[in-house]
């Protein structure tokens, strides 16, 4: 019987970590590249100064739209990112697999979960983005395994009821946006369109509009209710997105 083999090796320097991933399932190679992950994983790889987070830099896209993260907020994000990345890397009870892709794909479009394994596409053009995209698969796998409260406590209400459907996805994507803000601003991770769009939408108050426009097929009832309660918000969001990214938002683009 063929067995799955997962190998991981890291080479640590003062400022960066190289992670070599080799993930195989039977004879199919899922992911085999060396991802340059700046110290977003520094506490996992043994950097000499794991408690120091660089001062965040302002972020800007081609249109000139800027985000100026606050240092205290970036430190707060760092605290939970470390815990989650450590679990992704070291917990032997599950696999998070990255399947290389040359396309800029939104995380929900590539997620596949089977038993104890989650697969999410990893952009070959921006390998550093995998450190954040892996968290999307991890959140959903933890929900399936009954461990969501360990990593997304806000998804459990005071009566112990777990968020589901759109409410859960909104919480997960909010966290993913924050993790991307952390990586981009503190460790200068390269731009990756789908995550940049998510981050800018959240930081400008359009997270719900972003999700419900991009995924109206998944959350049609929530989209209809939101549209009814927020007249004019869809056109406002579309205008903002066009100004910021110089194209229509996902869910409003011509096919092809």
Sorted by where each begins, the domain ranges of the chain are 54-203, 204-256
Q: What is the pLDDT of residue 31?
A: 37
Residue 89 reports pLDDT greater than 80: yes
CA 232 to mean position of chain CA atoms? 29
Encoded tokens for 144: 């399936």
pLDDT tens-place string over residues 41-69: 433 333 333 468 899 999 999 999 999 99
- The model's confidence at residue 102, banded by pLDDT at 50, 70 and 90, is very high
Strand pairing report for 59-60 and 28-38? unpaired
pLDDT average, residue stretch 10-18: 27
Contact 45, 17 (CB under 8 A): yes
Closest CA to 132 of 53, 186, 73, 52: 186
- The model's confidence at residue 183, banded by pLDDT at 50, 70 and 90, is very high
pLDDT average, residue stretch 235-250: 98
Residue 220 reports pLDDT greater than 50: yes
Closest CA to 249 of 213, 223, 215: 213
Q: Where are the alpha helices (DSSP H) in 91-217?
A: 107-110, 130-144, 148-151, 165-187, 193-203, 207-214
pLDDT average, residue stretch 112-132: 94
pLDDT average, residue stretch 245-250: 97
Higher pLDDT, 27 or 183: 183
Q: How far apart are CA 212 and CA 223, in angstroms?
A: 5
Q: What is the pLDDT of residue 255?
A: 78
Q: C-alpha angle 92/147/209, rounded to 5°?
A: 115
Q: How far apart are CA 127 and CA 17, in angstroms?
A: 12
Beta pairing partners, 59: 67
pLDDT average, residue stretch 64-92: 96
Residue 110 reports pLDDT greater than 50: yes
pLDDT average, residue stretch 154-167: 96
pLDDT average, residue stretch 15-41: 32
Q: What is the pLDDT of residue 256?
A: 61
Window from 36-50, 69-83, 182-196, 242-256 with minimum mean pLDDT: 36-50
Q: How far apart are CA 244 and CA 207, in angstroms?
A: 14
- The model's confidence at residue 4, banded by pLDDT at 50, 70 and 90, is very low
Higher pLDDT, 152 or 5: 152
- The model's confidence at residue 157, banded by pLDDT at 50, 70 and 90, is very high
Average of per-residue pLDDT values in the chain: 83
Contact 142, 151 (CB under 8 A): yes
Higher pLDDT, 133 or 31: 133
Backbone torsion region of residue 59, taken as left when φ is above 0, otherwise alpha when ψ lies between -120 and 50, otherwise beta: beta
pLDDT average, residue stretch 130-145: 97
């Amino acid at each position: 019987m063929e067995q799955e083999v997962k190998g991981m090796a890291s080479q640590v320097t003062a400022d960066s970590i190289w992670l070599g991933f080799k993930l195989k399932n039977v004879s199919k190679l899922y992911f085999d590249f060396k991802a340059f992950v700046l110290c977003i994983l520094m506490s996992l790889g043994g950097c000499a100064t794991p408690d120091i987070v660089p001062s965040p830099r302002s972020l800007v896209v081609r249109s000139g739209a800027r985000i100026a993260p606050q240092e205290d907020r970036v430190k707060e994000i760092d605290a939970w990112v470390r815990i989650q990345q450590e679990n992704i890397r070291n917990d032997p009870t599950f696999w998070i697999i990255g399947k290389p892709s040359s396309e800029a794909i939104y995380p929900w479009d590539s997620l596949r979960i089977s038993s104890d394994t989650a697969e999410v596409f990893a952009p070959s053009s921006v390998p550093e983005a995998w450190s954040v995209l892996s968290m999307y698969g991890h959140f959903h796998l933890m929900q399936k395994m009954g461990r969501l409260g360990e990593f997304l406590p806000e998804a459990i209400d005071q009566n112990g009821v777990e968020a589901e459907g759109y409410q859960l996805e909104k919480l997960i994507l909010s966290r993913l946006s924050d993790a991307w803000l952390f990586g981009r601003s503190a460790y200068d991770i390269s731009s990756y369109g789908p995550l940049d769009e998510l981050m800018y939408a959240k930081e400008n108050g359009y997270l719900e509009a972003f999700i419900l426009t991009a995924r109206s097929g998944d959350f049609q009832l929530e989209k209809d209710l939101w549209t009814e309660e927020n007249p004019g918000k869809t056109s406002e969001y579309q205008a903002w997105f066009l100004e910021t990214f110089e194209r229509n938002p996902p869910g409003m683009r011509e096919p092809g």
